[in-house]
Amino acid sequence: MDEVEDWIRHGAEMRRPLLAHFELKNHQHITIVGGGLSGLCAAYRIADRFPERQVVLIEKSSRLGGVIETWHKGEWICDLAVNASRPHPSMWRLVEDLGLQEAWKASSDKAKSRWILMNGVKHKLSPLSLLKIGPFSLRKAIKNSRKGGASVSQVIPHRAIADAMTLGIVNDTSENVDADFLFPGLTKFGSDAPLKKRKLSAKIDSTYPIFLPKKGSITSLDGGMGALVDALQEQLESMSNVEILLNTVADSPTSVAETFKVPLSSIIWTAPGLLEHQNTNWISIFAVGFHQNDVKDVPFGYGVLIPDDSIPFSGVLHESDVHHSKRTPDDHRLFRIMVPHGRWDMEDQSIQQALSVYFGNAKPVIFENIGTRGIPQFKPGHMARVAKSRYDFTYLGWSVSGVSITHVVDEAERLVELMEC
């Protein structure tokens, strides 16, 4: 493909570096470390496109999927981490290839509203939010960010709004987050598209299989995003050229090369932990359900972000409001509570007491800590360092490309296209 075709197929993902070793395409045996979404997509795309090549997928735990997991309890359903995808043709292509078209639905049109809780008052996020930031200040900050290495707080000169955005995405405050990592198009990180934005967008829209999503919408799977992991696993287990090794620890690419007697250049590392400048922020997820009459004063919407660190949770996602598919028993609503460990005393009672900040005196009918996740830090300058990185192996995954499901799905496609060259 030429450059224009690449941008039509991948859009702004072309701004992100692809750390693929040039010798990978020459190997008949490929070893992938990490059974999260990055590893699963890479294994599936490579094994499907090159059936003559052998692929070994190594995962240290007893399950595949990494951070993506769906919790079920009776009729209650809640995703632990990623619960939907923003529009991008690569995700639609994957869903179609896996035969999940019928379960792939756009989010509720009624759940578009998002809020920020500031000084005890909820403020609706909208274009009018620019007035709180100051349009001229924002424009100047964005322009300055294009020099590279800026934090999100430098790009969005309103601390509460900036913190709310980063806490809702990477569980960190805005001064600690690389703007090039979260907003590469805004900061002009990487290469520019060869077409004007409107023309490129129109061409990208024409490539969506299944259906063309509405602007600003998100899309999810009936029954949760765990269905995506299940479908990928089923496909891989049916392929004669794929071997999956669970409960297999890999300390480093070098140790994998020695253990499996393979060249470093044949290894694809998708697991976290290799970037020396990264630390991990931990967050716990609570599923909290109410009878809908008890929370009728909580408006229907996407959710609220809470930058105030005196409150133990940083966000409330209206899990049952958002999705097309049913997530609760009849006449109930489900909320997902995000609790950064830096704010929390690790006692569930603290969360129960703090719920009144958002839900008033309503008593939950279900309250459960459904899991813990670690999110790498992406400090200012992260993407610049990544772009300069050179490895003797291929490095894919969220630690490099981003925390959106779209990034890693598209990254696997880009890798396979590079191997075809």
> 3-class SS at 272?
coil
The answer to whether the CB of 55 falls within 8 A of the CB of 43 is yes
Please report the pLDDT score of residue 378 as a whole number. 93
For 216, residues 6+ apart whose C-beta sits below 8 A from its C-beta are 112
Please report the pLDDT score of residue 75 as a whole number. 97
CA-closest candidate to residue 248, choices 232, 238, 262, 260? 260
Regarding predicted confidence, which is higher, 69 or 131?
69
State both tokens at 285.
């997820």
Distance CA 321, CA 327 (A): 9
pLDDT band at 402 (very low <50, low <70, confident <90, very high): confident
Q: Is the pLDDT of residue 199 over 80?
A: yes
Q: Report DSSP letters for 393-415, one per residue.
A: SEE-STTTS-SSHHHHHHHHHHH
Please report the pLDDT score of residue 1 as a whole number. 63
| Second-level CATH architecture of 3-103+207-276+380-420 | 3-Layer(bba) Sandwich (3.50)
**Whole-structure pTM over 0.75, yes or no?**
yes
Please report the pLDDT score of residue 99 as a whole number. 98
Q: Is the pLDDT of residue 241 over 70?
A: yes
Say what percent of the chain tops pLDDT 90.
86
pLDDT tens profile 274-315: 876 778 899 999 999 999 999 999 999 999 999 999 999 999
pLDDT tens profile 166-193: 998 999 999 999 999 999 999 999 999 9
Please report the pLDDT score of residue 112 as a whole number. 87
- Of the given ranges (1-10, 119-128, 412-421), which has the lowest mean pLDDT? 119-128
Domain ranges across the chain: 3-103+207-276+380-420, 113-182+280-376
pLDDT band at 120 (very low <50, low <70, confident <90, very high): confident
Average confidence (pLDDT) over 37-59 = 98
The bridge status of strand 104-106 relative to strand 76-79 is unpaired
Provide the sign of the torsion angle of the four alpha carbons 382, 283, 78, 335, taken in this order. negative
Distance CA 313, CA 305 (A): 9
Q: Is the pLDDT of residue 371 over 70?
A: yes
**Residue 66: left if φ>0, alpha if ψ -120 to 50, beta else—which one?**
left
Regarding predicted confidence, which is higher, 119 or 340?
340
pLDDT tens profile 383-401: 999 999 999 999 999 877 7
Regarding predicted confidence, which is higher, 128 or 37?
37
Average confidence (pLDDT) over 208-234 = 95
Please report the pLDDT score of residue 404 as a whole number. 86
Please report the pLDDT score of residue 138 as a whole number. 87
Average confidence (pLDDT) over 21-43 = 97
Residue range 113-182+280-376 in CATH 3.90.660.10: yes
Q: Is the pLDDT of residue 375 over 80?
A: yes
> Among the residues of 171-283, which ranges form H helices?
179-182, 184-187, 197-205, 226-238, 253-260
State both tokens at 165.
């955005």
Distance CA 123, CA 324 (A): 25
Number of H helices, E strands in the chain: 17, 16
pLDDT tens profile 35-45: 999 999 999 99
The answer to whether the CB of 395 falls within 8 A of the CB of 389 is yes
Element housing 135 (H / E)? helix 135-145
